[in-house]
Structure 1
Amino acid sequence: MLRKLLIGTAAVVAALWATNTSLFGPTLEAGKTRLLSHRGVHQTFSAEDLENDTCTAERILPPTHDYIENTIPSMRAAFEHGAAVVELDVHLTPDGAFAVFHDWTLDCRTDGTGVTEETPMSRLKELDIGHGYTADGGRTFPLRGKGIGMIPALDEVFRAFPGRQFLINFKSQRADEGQALADLLNKNPEWRKATFGVYGGEIPTRESLRLVPGLRGYDKTSIISCLSRYLALGWSGFVPAPCRNTLVIVPLNYAWMLWGWPHRFIERMKAAGSEVILMGPYQGGDFTAGIDHAGQLALVPDNFDGYVWTNRIEVIGPLLNPHGNSPGQTRVGR
C-alpha cells in the first residue's frame, strides 16, 4: 500500500512538473523583451520613509540631466532609450482637458498652488514645473525656470508621438474621468491604438475599461485577485477570469511562485488575451517599483516575452540593447 502511495504521489508531482515546466513549453521568439518607462526619463529621489503625500521633488538625488517627468522631452528621451511604452499620469481639469502631471496638488513641484484637477489647463500651462526640485534641502534649485509651460495635455502627447504607446495612470477616483477618457479614445481611433492600457484609481479605471472595447487595464484589487487565484488554480494550466484580457503585473521577488514561470506562464496569459508586466520587488507599497539596475535586470529571464517596468530607462535601455536595437528586435546581452 505504501509503495502504491509513493508511486501515485511521484506520478502527481511528475505531472505537475511536466505541465508547468518551461523546458518543454512553446519556444518563444528571442528578443521580445520590451521596456515600459515609468514617468519617462525623470529625476530620481530617495525612497526612504516615502509616504503618499511626500514631496519627492524636495528629495531628489543630485541631477545628472535636466529632464522632468511627464513632459514631452522626457517622453521623447525615454523612447530614444528604447522604451516600447511610456507611463504617464493624468488629471481631468475643469475645462475638460487631461493634464499630464503626477501630483494631486501643485505646491510641491511648481510655482503654483492648489489642487491639480481643480485648475484649468490654461493656468497649468503658465506654471514652472521645475520650480520645487532640490537636492540639497532647498539651498539650490537646479531645475527652476526650466519647466515653464511644460505640463502637456494628453491630446498634445498623442499628437507629438504618432505610432507610440502609453500607459495612462488615473490619479483620482472619479467615474467621470474614466468616462471622459473613454470618450476621447472612442472618438479618436489612432489615440485608442496609442493607449497600451490604463491603471490607477479603481473607479475611473473600471469605467474606462467598461466603455472602451478591448481596452486593458488594472488596479490594485485586480492585481491581487489575478495572482492569488492563479496561485490556487494555475497548476492545472487554468487562467482565472481576473487574469484574462488584462495587464498582469508580476513583482520580481514573487515571480518564482507562479505556476509555469516564466515561459509557460506568459504563453497562458497571452492565450487569455493578456500581457505580462514584470515589476521590481514588491515590498508592501504600491506596484510601481522598477527593474532599475544591472543586478535586477540580470534576474529577468532570457527571451522574456513581456514588458519590463523601469524607473531608469536611461540606464536599463542601453543595458538591454547595448547596440541600440529598437524595441522588439534581437536582445543582445544584459
Structure 2
Amino acid sequence: MAELNPWPYPRWVAHRGAGKLAPENTLAAFRLGASHGYRMFECDAKLSADGVVFLMHDATLDRTTSGHGTGGAQPWSALAQLDAGGWHSRAYAGEPLPTLENLARFCRANGHLLNIEIKPTPGTERETGEVVAREAARLWKGAAVPPLLTSFQVESLKGAQAVQPGLPRGLLLDKLWDGWLEAARQLGCVAIVCNHALWDATVVALVHEAGMRALSYTVNDDWAAQRLIELGTDGIITDRVDLFPPAA
C-alpha cells in the first residue's frame, strides 16, 4: 500500500465559487463563498482564441453570459465585454467574466486555495492543459500550497504533466471506465475526483492504496455528505455553501 502524503486542502470546497447562490465562475461568486467561511474553491478554466485563460464551464457562451457561440472561438477583448451575471439575477447584472489571473489575485490576497478544473473547448485538450498549467505555475509562484489541477480529459492532464510536473493533478470521473486507476497512476495524480455516487468502500480503498486522495462532486444533501465522510473520503465539492459549514 502506498503511503498517503500530507493533504494541504480542506475537506469542503465551494463549487464554482458559491454554487448556485451567485453567477458561477465570477468573482462575485468567490466573494460570496468566502463570506460563508469557505477557504477553497473550484473553478472551470478554458482558453480564449488568443490564449487567455478565463473562467467558464460551458463550451458555449449562451447559458451564462450575454454572448453567443463558442467561447474559445472569441478573443479575450470580446469576451471581456460580456455580462456574465445578468442571467442569474438583476443583482449581478454586469458582472464580467474573470481571467484565471483575476481569481489568482483574489485567492492569494485572502489566503484561499483553488481547484482548477481544466475545461477545454473540444479539440484543444492538450493545449489547454499546457497553458493552464503554465499560468497556474506563474500565478502561484512561491505559494505555500499550489492549486490542484483536475480534468475529465486525460489529454489535458497529460499536457499539464508535461509542462509543469510539480503541480498536483487529479482525474475527474463521471463513471469508472476501464483502466481509470492505471491512467491516474501514469498521470501522476494525487487525487481521484468522482461523482459522489461512485464511491463505495472498495473504490475508496483502491484509491487510498494507490496513494491518492478521494474527492467528490457535487454534494448538496446531508445524507450524501454523511455517507462520504463515513466512507473516509477526503474532500467534498458542494453548491450548498449556505448549508454545509466548511469547518465541520
CA shift at 1:152, angstroms?
0.5
In 1: Cα distance, 2:175 partner to 2:46 partner:
22
SS of 2:237 mapped into structure 1: strand
Q: Which residue identity does 1:36 align to in structure 2? A: V
In 2: Cα distance, 1:192 partner to 1:102 partner:
27
CA shift at 1:221, angstroms?
9.1
CA shift at 1:100, angstroms?
0.7
In 2: Cα distance, 1:84 partner to 1:40 partner:
10
| 1:88–1:166 Cα contact (<8 Å) kept | yes
Q: Which residue identity does 1:277 align to in structure 2? A: L
Q: 1:34 corresponds to which residue?
A: 11
SS of 2:159 mapped into structure 1: helix
| 2:107–2:114 Cα contact (<8 Å) kept | no
Query: Compared with structure 1, are the counterparts of its residues 225 and 254 closer, same or farther at alpha carbon in structure 2 (3 Å cutoff)?
Result: same
Q: Which residue identity does 2:58 align to in structure 1? A: D
| 2:172–2:193 Cα contact (<8 Å) kept | no
In 2: Cα distance, 1:149 partner to 1:256 partner:
40
Listed as ranges, the gaps of 5+ residues in structure 2 are none
SS of 2:228 mapped into structure 1: coil
Query: Compared with structure 1, are the counterparts of its residues 225 and 86 closer, same or farther at alpha carbon in structure 2 (3 Å cutoff)?
Result: farther
1:292 aligns with 2:247: no
Listed as ranges, the gaps of 5+ residues in structure 1 are 1-18, 20-25, 27-31, 44-64, 134-142, 230-239, 280-289, 326-330
| 2:48–2:72 Cα contact (<8 Å) kept | yes
In 1: Cα distance, 2:200 partner to 2:116 partner:
28
1:116 aligns with 2:57: no
Q: 2:237 corresponds to which residue?
A: 309
In 2: Cα distance, 1:182 partner to 1:243 partner:
14
Q: 1:198 corresponds to which residue?
A: 150
Q: 1:277 corresponds to which residue?
A: 215
CA shift at 1:160, angstroms?
1.1
| 2:173–2:192 Cα contact (<8 Å) kept | no
Query: Compared with structure 1, are the counterparts of its residues 275 and 86 closer, same or farther at alpha carbon in structure 2 (3 Å cutoff)?
Result: same
Q: TM-score by structure 1 length?
A: 0.59
Q: 1:268 corresponds to which residue?
A: 209
Matches within 5 A, 1:94-133: 94-133=49-88
1:170 aligns with 2:118: yes
SS of 1:161 mapped into structure 2: helix
Matches within 5 A, 1:246-265: 246-258=190-202
In 2: Cα distance, 1:253 partner to 1:128 partner:
35
1:212 aligns with 2:167: no
Q: TM-score by structure 2 length?
A: 0.77
Q: Which has the larger radius of gyration?
A: 1
| 2:220–2:238 Cα contact (<8 Å) kept | yes
Q: Deviations over 1:229-286 (max 9, x none)?
A: 7xxxxxxxxxx94696431234544433416x5xx667535xx2x222034xxxxxxx
In 2: Cα distance, 1:192 partner to 1:147 partner:
35
In 1: Cα distance, 2:231 partner to 2:198 partner:
19
In 2: Cα distance, 1:313 partner to 1:79 partner:
9
In 2: Cα distance, 1:241 partner to 1:183 partner:
22
SS of 1:299 mapped into structure 2: helix
Report % sequence identity.
20
* Number of residues of Structure 1 aligned to a counterpart in Structure 2: 235
Query: Compared with structure 1, are the counterparts of its residues 123 and 268 closer, same or farther at alpha carbon in structure 2 (3 Å cutoff)?
Result: same
| Residue 98 of structure 2, aligned match among 143, 152, 161 | 152
